C-alpha cells in the first residue's frame, strides 16, 4: 500500500469546516505554519480518493502514525528540495 506524507501550510480539517467554528477554535499548525498529513495512495495530494489522516505537528509523528498502521514501511527521500 503506498503511503505519502505531505506538509501542508494549512489545517486541512479546520479549513474543511469553514464557517462552522467556535470562536475558540484555531488552526492546528506547528511553528513553521505547517502540519503533516498521511495519505494512503500514490499520486497528487488533491487527486486522492480519500481524506488525509489527522494533522501532525512533526514529520516524526506522522511517520510513527503511518508505521503503526502499515508495518515495514520503506521510506524514500522527497523528490524535491525546492519547496514553494
- Classify residue 44: in a domain, yes or no: yes
Structural domain range at position 47:
4-69
Q: What is the number of structural domains in the chain?
A: 1
Q: Is 39 helix (H, G, I), strand (E, B) or coil?
A: strand
pLDDT at 81 over 70: no
- Classify residue 83: in a domain, yes or no: no
- Classify residue 78: in a domain, yes or no: no
What percent of the chain is modeled with pLDDT above 70? Answer: 75
- Classify residue 81: in a domain, yes or no: no
- Classify residue 76: in a domain, yes or no: no
pLDDT for the residue 25: 82
- Classify residue 45: in a domain, yes or no: yes
Cα–Cα distance measured from residue 71 to residue 63, given in angstroms and rounded to the nearest whole number: 11
- Classify residue 77: in a domain, yes or no: no
pLDDT digits (tens, 9 = 90+) for 32-56: 999 999 988 766 766 766 788 889 9
Q: What is the pTM of this model?
A: 0.75
pLDDT for the residue 23: 77
pLDDT at 83 over 80: no
Amino acid at each position: 500500500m503506498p503511503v505519502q506524507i505531505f506538509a501542508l501550510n494549512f489545517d486541512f480539517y479546520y479549513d474543511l469546516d469553514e464557517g462552522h467554528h467556535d470562536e475558540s477554535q484555531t488552526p492546528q499548525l506547528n511553528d513553521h505554519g505547517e502540519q503533516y498529513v498521511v495519505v494512503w495512495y500514490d499520486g497528487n495530494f488533491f487527486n486522492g480518493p480519500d481524506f488525509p489522516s489527522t494533522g501532525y505537528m512533526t514529520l516524526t509523528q506522522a511517520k510513527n502514525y503511518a508505521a503503526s498502521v502499515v508495518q515495514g514501511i520503506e521510506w524514500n527521500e522527497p523528490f524535491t528540495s525546492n519547496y514553494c
